[in-house]
């Protein structure tokens, strides 16, 4: 039997009511095939009782297993709803050495499966220690984005971090989580002083995740942007939030300046991602002028991917 099939069977055992499932899975932890060992770990994770936690912790901390197996064990523990699993992960993180940074990131990511009310102090400890490896601090913010609970309130504390990568990731977190809270004012303030273009891109995306924003203030900032990536994020925000049935100055500027610029980007820019972002923003705009621009792009673009993105049949 193919090892991948065996692995699937082992993992499935964890979800089954087979009496000897746990015993079989524990035996499989010593299999020569790494894929089967990982599957057995996932199976034990699905069982999730004290014995299973004990065995998985043992695998994670073993010097005899590969980084892949140890990482799988960390991931499985992250998903087990038990204090023992949580404590084991935190203890393992505290005892890692600099040479084990890979497993450190795995543990941090694994803790992202849990509720922020349980893991918040742990993540703060990592983030507030500026001596921590920047990659681990970044992994901590990414884990918070994935967490259950009020991640928005937690993330806000790191919008002013000295590391621009952390600020950018934090703003992205606020852009992508379900309930970031009403933080439009904070984001506006941050945008007014933020100098890093990537962070500004993320802040515009975070404003897009707010119900209401000060659109005049946002437009004032967007129209000053010079970096294409950031400009596109700003234009996309305006397309979402401007009321195009009104004849305000930002709306006029969008119609006269932005729509032709987006059309040009979609047709001439080398990078596929920029071209498609321009098309998406034109679609969001949903005005006669933007529809005309999309029709022209569909007609003139030599790139079938861009044409398809316009949604207009040739």
Partner 1 sequence: MSENGFKTFFRMGLVLLAMVLLLTPANLCAEQEGIDSDDMPCNTYIWDITGNYDTPLFEDCEMTMTLVQDGKGKITGSGDGICEMYIDDDDEGFWVWIDYEFDVKGKVTQKKGIGVVKLNVKIAGMAEVDIEDLTDLKFRAKQRLAALINPDTLTFDGVVKSSGCIQKVGCGKEVFENYSADLPIGMDGSWFLATNNIDDDGKKIMGESTLILANGNQLAMTAKGRINARKGEAKVKFSGVKTDPGAKGSSIMATVDEDENVLKMKGKVLGQQIGCK
How many residues belong to the site for partner 1 (CB under 8 A)? Answer: 37
Question: Using the rule CB under 8 A, is 277 a contact of partner 1?
Answer: yes
Contact 166, 158 (CB under 8 A): yes
Question: Using the rule CB under 8 A, is 269 a contact of partner 1?
Answer: no
Which residues ranging from 220 to 259 are in contact with partner 1 (CB under 8 A)? 227-230, 236
Question: Using the rule CB under 8 A, is 195 a contact of partner 1?
Answer: no
Question: Using the rule CB under 8 A, is 79 a contact of partner 1?
Answer: no
Question: Using the rule CB under 8 A, is 4 a contact of partner 1?
Answer: no
Which residues ranging from 104 to 143 are in contact with partner 1 (CB under 8 A)? 106
Question: Using the rule CB under 8 A, is 194 a contact of partner 1?
Answer: no
3-state secondary structure the chain: CCHHHHHHHHHHHCCCCCCCHHHHHHHHCCCCCHHHHHHHHHHHHHHCCHHHHHHHHHHHHCCCCCHHHHHHHHHHHHCCCCHHHHHHHHHHHHCCCHHHHHHHHHHHHHHCCCEHHHHHHHHHHHHHCCCCCHHHHHHHHHHHHHCECCHHHHHHCCCCCCCHHHHHHHHHHHHHCCCCCCCHHHHHHHHHHCCCHHHHHHHHHHHCCCCCCCHHHHHHHHCCCCCHHHHHHHHHHHHHHCCCCCCCHHHHHHHHHHHHHHHHHHHHCCCHHHHHHHHHHHHHHCCHHHHHHHHHHHHHCCCHHHHHHHCCCC
Which residues ranging from 138 to 157 are in contact with partner 1 (CB under 8 A)? 146
- State the nearest-atom distance from the C-beta of 69 to partner 1, in Å: 10
Question: Using the rule CB under 8 A, is 3 a contact of partner 1?
Answer: no
CB count, 10 Å around CB of 270? 6
Candidate segments 51-59, 90-98, 117-125, 173-181, binder of partner 1 by CB under 8 A: 173-181
Among 175, 183, 294, 297, binds partner 1 (CB under 8 A): 175
Contact characters 26-45, partner 1, x per CB under 8 A? --------------------
Among 284, 289, 291, 296, binds partner 1 (CB under 8 A): 284
Among 201, 263, 290, 301, binds partner 1 (CB under 8 A): 201
Candidate segments 78-86, 110-118, 122-130, 195-203, binder of partner 1 by CB under 8 A: 195-203
Give me the residues that bind partner 1 (CB under 8 A), please: 67-68, 71, 106, 146, 165, 168, 172, 175-178, 197-198, 201, 205, 208-209, 227-230, 236, 270-273, 276-277, 279-280, 283-284, 305, 308-309, 311
């Amino acid at each position: 039997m193919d090892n991948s099939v065996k692995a699937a069977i082992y993992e499935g055992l964890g979800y089954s009511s087979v009496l000897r499932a746990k015993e079989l899975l524990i035996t499989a932890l010593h299999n020569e095939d790494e894929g089967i060992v990982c599957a057995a770990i996932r199976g034990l994770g699905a069982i999730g009782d004290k014995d299973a936690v004990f065995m998985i912790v043992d695998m994670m901390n073993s010097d005899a297993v590969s980084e892949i197996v140890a990482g799988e064990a960390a991931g499985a523990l992250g998903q087990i709803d038990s204090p023992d699993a949580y404590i084991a992960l935190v203890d393992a993180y505290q005892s890692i050495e600099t040479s084990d940074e890979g497993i450190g990131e795995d543990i941090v990511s694994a803790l992202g499966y849990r509720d922020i009310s349980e893991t918040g102090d742990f993540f703060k400890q990592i983030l507030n220690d500026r001596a921590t490896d920047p990659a681990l601090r970044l992994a901590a913010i990414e884990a918070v984005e994935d967490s259950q609970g009020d991640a928005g309130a937690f993330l806000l504390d790191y919008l002013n971090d000295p590391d621009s990568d952390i600020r950018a990731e934090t703003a992205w977190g606020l852009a992508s989580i379900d309930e970031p809270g009403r933080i439009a004012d904070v984001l506006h303030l941050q945008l007014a002083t933020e100098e890093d273009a990537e962070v500004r891109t993320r802040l515009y995306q975070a404003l897009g995740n707010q119900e209401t924003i000060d659109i005049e203030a946002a437009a004032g900032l967007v129209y000053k942007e010079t970096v294409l990536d950031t400009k596109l994020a700003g234009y996309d925000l305006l397309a979402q939030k401007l009321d195009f049935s009104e004849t305000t100055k930002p709306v006029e500027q969008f119609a006269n300046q932005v729509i032709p610029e987006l059309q040009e980007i979609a047709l001439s820019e080398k990078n596929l991602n920029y071209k498609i972002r321009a098309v998406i923003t034109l679609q969001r705009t949903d005005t006669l002028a933007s529809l005309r621009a999309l029709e022209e792009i569909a007609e003139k673009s030599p790139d079938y991917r861009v044409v398809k993105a316009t949604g207009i049949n040739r």
